[in-house]
Amino acid sequence: MNENEITDLVLASVLTLTFSGIGYLWARGVCRGKALTKLQRSMLLYATFFVFGAAHLILFQDVLGKLVHWKKAWIAVMLLWTGGPGS
């Protein structure tokens, strides 16, 4: 792993945590400071996992393309990650 890949991993993780923090603060604002509902907690968790996976797919699209010998493989994997068309 070279230095740029390590930086990408750290940056994607930091951006995901930032997204999660902003989402949490927004949800707390909607509840006017009260505890989050079960639905809000689960949606925040799913959104965090989605952003984490999507960020890594985008950052490492070249590595994935070389691995499966298809330059646009990241698009197919992204479709699967989002639940596919019509979901």
> Does residue 87 lie within any of the structural domains?
no
- Whole-model pTM over 0.85: no
> Does residue 60 lie within any of the structural domains?
yes
> Does residue 27 lie within any of the structural domains?
yes
Q: Over range 33-56, report the average pLDDT.
A: 92
Task: Tell me how far apart the alpha carbons of residues 79 and 82 are, in angstroms, rounded to a whole number.
Answer: 5
Structurally, the chain folds into a number of domains equal to 1
**In contact, 47 and 36? CB cutoff 8 Å:** no
48 three-class SS = helix
Tens of pLDDT, residue by residue over 47-74, are: 999 999 998 888 888 888 999 999 889 8
> Does residue 73 lie within any of the structural domains?
yes
> Does residue 31 lie within any of the structural domains?
yes
Task: Tell me how far apart the alpha carbons of residues 78 and 76 are, in angstroms, rounded to a whole number.
Answer: 5
Q: Is the pLDDT reported for residue 40 higher than 90?
A: yes
Q: Is the pLDDT reported for residue 80 higher than 90?
A: no
**Residue where the block lists tokens 């925040």:** 44
**In contact, 24 and 41? CB cutoff 8 Å:** no
What are the b/e assignments for 41-52, b being 16+ CB within 10 Å?
eeebeeebeebb
> Does residue 33 lie within any of the structural domains?
yes
Domain that holds residue 40: 3-82
> Does residue 65 lie within any of the structural domains?
yes
